């Protein structure tokens, strides 16, 4: 995906996600730590942990679908301590 279009999926998700860009040439140590070997690479994080990654150019619709799937999984997650839904306590609704 072209760098200028990285914000399109985030904007369409109504603030449920944040987009950050990394210039791997300027920050090779961070790229190495994250295991980035190809560009573009999209990493989806939650609480500092990588949940998923997409490698290679992809249309905005594919990126948005992957992010929505992960948000939905998190929205439907339950608290392992008590089995109650985590809805609204930790996650924003994924919307449509």
* Domain-wise residue ranges, the chain: 3-75
d(CA 39, CA 52): 15
Eight-state DSSP code of residue 91:
B
- Please state the CATH superfamily assignment of the domain spanning residues 3-75 in this structure: Glutaredoxin (3.40.30.10)
The pLDDT of residue 92: 43
3-state helix, strand, coil in the chain (%, to 5): 35, 20, 50
Q: What percent of the chain has pLDDT over 90?
A: 18
- The answer on pLDDT for 62 being more than 80 is yes
- The answer on pLDDT for 1 being more than 70 is no
d(CA 66, CA 83): 26
């Amino acid at each position: 995906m072209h760098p200028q279009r990285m914000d399109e999926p985030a904007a369409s998700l109504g603030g449920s996600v944040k987009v950050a860009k990394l210039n791997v040439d300027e920050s090779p140590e961070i790229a190495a730590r994250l295991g980035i070997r190809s560009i573009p690479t999209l990493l989806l994080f939650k609480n500092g942990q990588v949940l998923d990654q997409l490698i290679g150019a992809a249309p905005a619709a594919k990126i948005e679908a992957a992010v929505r799937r992960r948000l939905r999984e998190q929205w439907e997650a339950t608290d392992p301590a008590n089995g109650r839904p985590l809805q609204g306590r930790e996650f924003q609704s994924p919307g449509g």
